[in-house]
Structure 1
Amino acid sequence: MKEAEETGYAESINRRHLLSVIGGGATTALLGTGVGAAKPGHENGKSGNNGNHGNGNNGVGPCTCDGCPEGTFCGKIEGAPEEGETYTFESDGDSFSVTIESVTEKDGGEVTCFSFSTDDVVEQVCVKGGPDTKTYDDNPAEKEELCAPTNPGGQQAAISNVSFCGTGDDELECYQIDLVSGDVIKDFEKEGPYGDRKFEDFSVCEDGSNLEGLESSNDGQSVDGCELSWVGLGFDESDNTADVDVTLESASSESCTVTLAGYLLPEGETKFNPKTLEEQEYRDHETVELSEGDSTKLEISLNG
């Protein structure tokens, strides 16, 4: 059996090729223990005078960290990390990557310290050297160097393996939901805002957090000659939907058009901002024509 099958490792990716490799399906693997493991396609370390490699990769064991913080999983480099390499770890649909920016070597080419960068979330790093492990859990990516512990003789140990506790930096989606008179607006840049056509509006994030401005029920509000009442206006994070039960209480004309519409807020925003209205992305709407006394339920999906 090949070593890749035995150890379940993921090949590291040269940083300048990272995006193209990931797009084409980067080689990643999972261990039965749930540890996402990675190592380069060639051995770590430098050749000493005897021609042997200082820090070879010879199999993948359990996570070096005692336990990863909630919401993260363990990714492991067996052997010393290599400068310039990007390692990608994957587990249960989640993934994160780290790039080794620099390494420090002692005589003989053994790696003792390193620094790294990441665009994802890394909350803990555990560096094994000799019989001991040194744990970094205070913004480890911002450290100038992460080093193996000193050995019992007081000398700097060489790195034998490194474990990272991390997760992908997935942006939380947040939405704007509008209950309005008239037809939907799909492009605010071209069509402008709803203005005085709104009965009610609120913002919320996909996990139900950052709920802002919601009036879930109203006995009657008039817009454009249409008096509308509603109950149960809200968002369900379990299936990413919004709905409301509406009744047209009175109308100055034969009928009124009512719309429930949902939009994705710009990246990084958790509530409505009139300055970025044109950047909202239309997701879904439902429009009905109501006569006086009519009641109905409106429901929309905020999935992309």
Structure 2
Amino acid sequence: MKNIAVIGAGTMGNGIAHTFAQFGYKVNLIDISEESLDKGMKTISGNLDRMVSKEKISAADKETTLNNITTYTDIPKGVKEIDLVVEAATENEDLKLKIFKQLDENCSAETILASNTSSISITKIASVVSNPERVIGMHFMNPVPIMKLVEIIRGYNTSDKVTKSIMELSENLKKVPVEANDYPGFVANRILMPMINEAIETFYNNVAGVKEIDTVMKLGMAHPMGPLQLADFIGLDVCHSILEVMYDGFKNPKYAPCPLLTNMVMAGKLGIKSGEGFYDYSESKKAEKVSSQFS
């Protein structure tokens, strides 16, 4: 596989495009918004600048990586003669099904279709594709250029050949692929999201403050980031969506989003990307004292 298309220029999409391009793949980065594409490319350039400053790559490597990426606002044009498509759009089932229908209509029958979904059924996504054996989950972790894990999710019909190809491809990116079966939340979020949700419940029940909860988990459990700061980093809307998928899938109340999480999402307090979540990012762009609104 040499030619890759990535759909979605947001946090995950631009990180995936960056990673493939850095390892010499030709990447078509696709988004319906020219503004989103410009923002995504600016993010990639900035991340490459940091790698240059840390002497992890050269300035020439940066230019080569950027030159490996071409942007498109049109899916049919962007997926022409592509070996692999990685969908990294918003975590919304209807949107993903719509995209995969388009991919089925515009891609070669040999093109592997992967989704970066963090919770939505690969089998359900594959149900709208004429040959579902080529559909697979390729769940990268954020930030993609740094994090080593890639969850490889086999749908009910995913072929051994496709799975083997994607496992090998992930290793070519210097990642560690781990295979999982297709159940809500897969492995990573089935374990992570209930912990985040319980941390929110702990704050909601006034057991301790945001900073205190995060400090306990960082110093007591050796987590690099506390669960509430991590929720801000992931996006509270994304956390909420994943919990809803698991709640719908398992019909188990332990996966029901905490009422505080629901209210924060409705109020637009989504974490880093909105400037405020459990911490205030409006000034320094990094976690600070919790907003008085939630203290």
Common fold: TM-score over 0.5: no
Whichever of the two has the greater Rg, that structure is 1
Give the alignment's TM-score, normalised by structure 2.
0.24
